[in-house]
Amino acid sequence: MIIDCIGCLHGAQPKLKGGDLLIITGDLTAADKPVQMMQFLLWLDKQKYKKKIFIAGNHDNGLTIPISLPENTEYLCDSGTEFDGLKIWGMPWTPRFLGINPQCCAYTYYDEAWFYDEKVANIPHDTDILITHGPAFGVLDGIPMEDGSLFHVGSKSLFGWLKYVERPRLHVFSHIHEAHGQKESFPTYNDKMMISVNCSIMNEKYKPVNKPIRIII
């Protein structure tokens, strides 16, 4: 199966090759305006995939209202779907931090315990592909500091679930533009490694220079 992963578009409309499944991990428009959401959906309708799935990010306040979707497209919000035998779960939540732009607080939380109890614990244990807006702590979530170290900002609750409770085959996210890439993270119960993908299109300067990430499973 050919899976293309993109996220943190912020209005960008990357050229995609087409395939089986397209995953988009939120932050869809440049300024969260209704006309921009319509432009995103028109672009999405033209993409040649058997299935297209997207979630919201912290910039996507407009997705708190119902929208009409193109054919073969699903919007997941603490919900799941299936495609070609794979069980997929999507959720948009990310930790809120001091100084966050008040216009960019959609689906954010302060309390990790609340996040685990109310959201993470509800992820089905037989999930094959997990889609979140933000990363797990320590997994493609590092912001470079002046001393050369990385400041990790991912969710500790999500890390705990992925490492100690359940390990899907694939975890796709974005949110931290600086950490674009993919890596094998945790061993799954079938002796394979879970693949973690940070598919942010934008870099830290909000330039759409990062390429879509293609996964074949």
**pLDDT recorded at residue 65:** 67
How does 170-186 read in b/e, with b if 16+ C-beta sit within 10 Å? bbbbbbbbbbbebeebb
2-216 CATH: 3.60.21.10
- Give per-residue pLDDT as tens, 27-52: 999 999 999 999 999 999 999 999 99
3-state secondary structure of 176: coil
**pLDDT recorded at residue 216:** 96
- Give per-residue pLDDT as tens, 132-143: 999 999 999 999
Angstrom distance (rounded) from CA 60 to CA 169: 27
**pLDDT recorded at residue 190:** 65
Q: Number of H helices and number of E strands within the chain?
A: 3, 15
- Give per-residue pLDDT as tens, 88-126: 999 999 999 877 888 899 999 999 999 999 999 999 999
Angstrom distance (rounded) from CA 108 to CA 102: 11
Q: In this model, does residue 169 exceed pLDDT 70? A: yes
